[in-house]
Chains A and B, each alone.
Chain A
Amino acid sequence: MIPSAELVDLSRLQFAITALYHFLFVPLTLGLSFLLVIMESVYVMTGKEVYRDMTRFWGKLFGINFALGVTTGLTMEFQFGTNWAYYSHYVGDIFGVPLAIEGLMAFFLESTFVGLFFFGWNKLSKVQHLLVTFLVALGSNLSALWILIANGWMQNPVGAEFNYHTMRMEMTSITDLLFNPVAQVKFVHTVSAGYVTASMFVLGISAYYLLIGRDKAFAMRSIAVAAGFGLASALSVIVLGDASGYTVGEVQRVKLAAIEAEWHTEKAPAAITAFGFPNEATQRTDYAIRIPYLLGLIATRSVDEQITGIAELREGNEAKIRNGMIAYSALEKLRAGDASDETKMLFEKYKANLGYGLLLKKYTPDVADATEEQIRMASRDTIPGIAPMFWTFRIMVAISLVILFIISASFYYVAKRSIAEKKWLLKLALYSIPLPWIACEMGWIVAEYGRQPWTISGILPTRLSTSNLDPSSVYFSLAGFVGFYTLLLVAELYLMFKYARLGPQSLHTGQYGSA
């Protein structure tokens, strides 16, 4: 028996909410930790106290954010087991590995040294303390690496195959898992986005001090560090955006087509749709503004490689569903005790498409005898909603361009030593602080909503992945998460605003004024 639609929707909603919440805190941790390393390095090299104070003040804000990152991260570690039990059984042999390594290699490092970062100032030499700060940054960024290796495998499941004895996916190659191209690109893209987020955070709050004419030297130096680090990161996030990750892996290609509302395959190199209104009913994009060649160039890095359109992808998936039906019926025979070579060979031949056969479970328990209509419905399911993909992606890109402008302009005026007079830029920077968060959340939606209808692309449909729970249990936990997280977020924002407004005087060194 497969889980009810209500249960699956609730479980997805809970996962999305808790993951999006967690991802409010992660990018800042990733980036701010490295900004702290830079500030403290300058302190160690020059001995100028303002850099130590910068490290301590921004470190305070780092701590306020870090606390909620840890809180919401705890949920993520256990939610696969609580709500996605069948998924955990089906792919734990592979997926559990990076999660466990993350704990042992990265999260331990980050969490053990974060306490020393706050409480070790008077107990360590300057260089030792810098090393501690560096280890916190290294730990949090390694965390991101392992999590994205796990996530990259969900998008492009390499190095694994189905074992019919144990009824699950098992690892065939750890190196394939580690060097999954999708994971590599995702890692660079995600940590760069975190660096940009932190740069905008420091830039925006420092701009506030300049606007109210307080702690000018402190703010100017903070802006200089943030603008430099931010510019490098913003270029990296855009140039190394994960466009190139969308040409490997079947489902990644579906995502690309959805993002671009590429209804049909066109002659290479494909044009990019800068703007328009995707229309699912007519399968075309109304009022489209198209820039020739650009998409082909960005996505394939070539002029002659085609980008497959939605209609053609769906047709291809229909063929895979038919193969999946053969695999499924062979699997049923194997499970029933048929050990003939013929059945085994049949299964081996088609098992790569077993997951596509499982898509039919939503419509019939009898996968091997699905009707034409059911096959058509299942193949339609293989394409996520075009409009949400199209829009979330464009919001993300538009925001990145605004951010790139703010950071470049700041960098330019810092270099010209006139940033303090550019009130318009300071105001823009201040009010743009939320932008990177919006972009990060949009990016998450593109990557994870775009993976639907799969939890593991091409392998395990979302519909089959959940635990067998009573929906009332999930309502209970969902209410708990929303309630707790909202209260904690209010407390976090309250403290963040309080300390950002106080500024470096909150260090009580006696050197920083209140106005």
Chain B
Amino acid sequence: MLFDYETLKLIWWLFVGVLLAGFAITDGFDLGVGALLPFLGKNDEERRVIINSVGATWEGNQVWFVTAGGAIFAAWPIVYATAFSGFYIALMLTLFALFFRPVGFDYRSKVADPRWRSVWDWGLFAGGFVPALIFGVAFGNLLQGVPFSFDNDLRVTYSGSFWQLLNPFGLLAGTVSLAMLLMHGSIYLQIRTEGVIAARARFVTRVTGAVFILAFVLAGVWIMKGIAGYRIVAMLPADVASTPLDKVVEKAAGAWMDNYSGHHWLWLAPLLAIVGALLAIVASGAKKTVAAFISSSVMIAGVIFTAGIAMFPFIMPSSTDPGSSLTIWDAVSSHKTLQIMFWVVVIFLPVVLAYTSWVYRVLRGKITVESIRANEHNVY
């Protein structure tokens, strides 16, 4: 095999990070645009402009979410099992909210009744707002550790409830992700629209950008000062097959800063998140919309890797039974499966990126009220 088991385990941590960042950057602006729809579009035509700014491409973007889920299933099956069953109610609410998007986009403008359209507009709002919030809340809880343990058959029992997820730090992390995606969505709207909608979006970028930076810094300080991290005390060698139960873990104040203090260059991730946000605000103010979009994309990748690096090698620490924590060393698929999936990603991801950018190029250009009127029966 090309890579040994240990290297592949590391590569797969990186791959999952890339897929999550891909999801947050592409579908992230669709979520943001959806959540802003009822507020930035004051009448039906303006709302159609907003919907059509993402209407033709959101579906492909959502596949990042599906693929990230599938890749976690294949590469980290026990993470897929534990996280999705543990965050059951939160995940169901996310799913129900996401239901509004495919139908909201496609069905909304096929009937003229304003009540019908209003229902779908608010549906699209929920489809953007709820996932954008809950994804952050989930990350915030991972950072604190969540209550689960395995029995000897590796059957997982999660002992927390949905309401416990909505703790102060969880909600702060939710604010980070919500502000981040609203900002990203408002920047994309500036690329695809003009006039009043773009002006309103520019205002949103400033406000959400400021909220994001504040919340992100506050969360960082909180992690440094107030949240105990986790640390592996003993484990099997990283290149052998093992289960989460084969190691000893301690919960320790400041453990989430271990990687940052050991490797100073890793501070680049949080730095990129903040600098990206600042640059995005400045570029948006100067109407350099594409530069703003690139900056906010860098910001998103920075945020995801900031959290990932803090927890590395943990994926899902257990607060009630630290030994059951899931890490990149013991929550992974077999060497063979990781190897196969490595090639799948290496071959297909560039292909996906290539045709996706072609599609965006074909569909580029501003969406305006006039373009909607001219194509009334063929656009969303």
Interface, chain A (partner B; CB < 8 A): 1, 63-64, 66-68, 70-71, 74-75, 77-78, 80-83, 85-89, 91-97, 99-105, 107-109, 111-116, 118-121, 123-124, 163, 165-168, 170-172, 174, 335, 467-469, 473, 476-477, 480, 484, 488, 491-492, 495, 498-499, 506-508
Contacts and interface: CB of A to CB of B under 8 A. Distances in A.
Given A85-B82, A86-B81, A100-B70, 13 more contacts: A67-B106, A68-B102, A86-B156, A88-B77, A92-B80, A97-B340, A100-B341, A107-B66, A112-B59, A115-B57, A171-B336, A467-B88, A468-B157
Given A88-B81, A104-B344, A484 B59 contact: no
Contacts of A499: 110
B156 A114 contact: no
A81 B84 contact: yes
Contacts of B58: 115
15 contacts: A71-B101, A80-B73, A86-B81, A92-B78, A97-B341, A100-B70, A100-B74, A104-B348, A107-B63, A111-B63, A112-B63, A115-B60, A116-B363, A171-B334, A171-B336
A124 B336 CA distance: 43
B167 interface: no
Q: Which of B59, B62, B341, B348 counts the most chain A CB atoms within 10 A? A: B59
A98 B59 CA distance: 21
Contact of A167 (B92, B153, B377): B153
B196 interface: no
A82 B333 contact: no
A166 B243 contact: yes
A111 B63 CA distance: 7
B203 interface: no
A217 B91 CA distance: 50
7 A-B pairs with the lowest CB-CB distances in the bound complex, closest first: A92-B77, A81-B84, A96-B74, A112-B60, A103-B67, A96-B73, A467-B85
A427 B69 CA distance: 46
Given A123-B363, A124-B362, A78 B151 contact: no
Q: Which of B62, B95, B341, B362 has the most CB of A within 10 A?
A: B95
A64 B83 CA distance: 33
Contact of B362 (A78, A86, A123): A123
A101 B344 contact: yes
B355 interface: yes
Contact of A78 (B62, B91, B359): B91
B376 to A, nearest CB: 8
B242 interface: yes
A491 B103 contact: yes
B128 to A, nearest CB: 15
A94 B337 CA distance: 7
Given A80-B73, A99-B70, A508-B377, A104 B345 contact: yes
A82 B91 contact: yes
A373 B59 CA distance: 54
B73 A507 contact: no
Interface string B140-174: 00000000000111111110000000000000000
A462 to B, nearest CB: 15
B81 A114 contact: no
Nearest to A169: B334
A234 B349 CA distance: 36
Contact of B73 (A64, A92, A491): A92
B372 interface: no
A120 B363 contact: yes
Given A74-B95, A94-B337, A115-B60, A64 B69 contact: no
B103 A488 contact: yes
Contact of B156 (A107, A168, A468): A468
Contacts, number: 248
B26 to A, nearest CB: 10
Contacts of B179: none
A63 B154 CA distance: 43
User: What DSSP secondary structure best describes chain A's contact surface?
Assistant: helix
B92 A89 contact: no
Given A108-B67, A167-B153, A82 B88 contact: yes
Which has the most chain B C-beta neighbours within 10 Å: A103, A120, A507? A103
Given A67-B105, A70-B59, A81 B74 contact: no
B89 interface: yes
B352 interface: yes
Nearest to A478: B92
Which residue, of B63, B70, B362, B377, has the highest number of chain A Cβ atoms within 10 A?
B70
Contacts of A68: 102-103
Contacts of A116: 56, 359, 362-363
B222 interface: no
Given A75-B95, A85-B82, A167 B77 contact: no
Among A100, A111, A480, max chain B CB count under 10 A is at A100
Highest count of chain A CB atoms <10 Å: which of B82, B84, B158: B84
Contact of A74 (B85, B99, B151, B242): B99
Given A1-B151, A74-B98, A335-B152, A82 B73 contact: no
B82 A119 contact: no
Contact of B85 (A81, A102, A163, A492): A81
Nearest to B154: A167
Contacts of A100: 67, 70-71, 73-75, 341, 344
A468 B345 CA distance: 32
A166 B63 contact: no
B84 A78 contact: yes
A75 B99 CA distance: 9
A467 B155 CA distance: 8
Contacts of A109: 355
B282 interface: no
A92 B333 contact: yes
A63 B80 contact: no
Contacts of A102: 70
A372 B120 CA distance: 60
Contacts of B84: 78, 80-82, 85, 88
A104 B352 contact: yes
Contact of B55 (A115, A168, A492): A115
Contacts of B85: 81-83, 85, 467-469
B78 to A, nearest CB: 5
B74 A99 contact: yes
A127 B369 CA distance: 30
A108 B158 CA distance: 33
Contacts of A123: 362-363
Nearest to B330: A166
Nearest to B116: A491
A308 B107 CA distance: 52
Interface in B43-68: 55-60, 62-63, 66-67
A473 B89 contact: yes
Interface string B288-315: 0000000000000000000000000000
B74 A97 contact: yes
A93 B98 contact: no
B356 interface: yes
Interface string B324-364: 00000000011011001100110011001001100100110
A367 to B, nearest CB: 12
B248 interface: no
A499 B111 CA distance: 10
A358 to B, nearest CB: 10
A166 B336 CA distance: 14
Contact of A81 (B80, B96, B356): B80
A102 B69 CA distance: 11
Contact of B96 (A82, A168, A484): A484
Nearest to A509: B377
Contact of B102 (A71, A93, A477): A71
B163 to A, nearest CB: 13
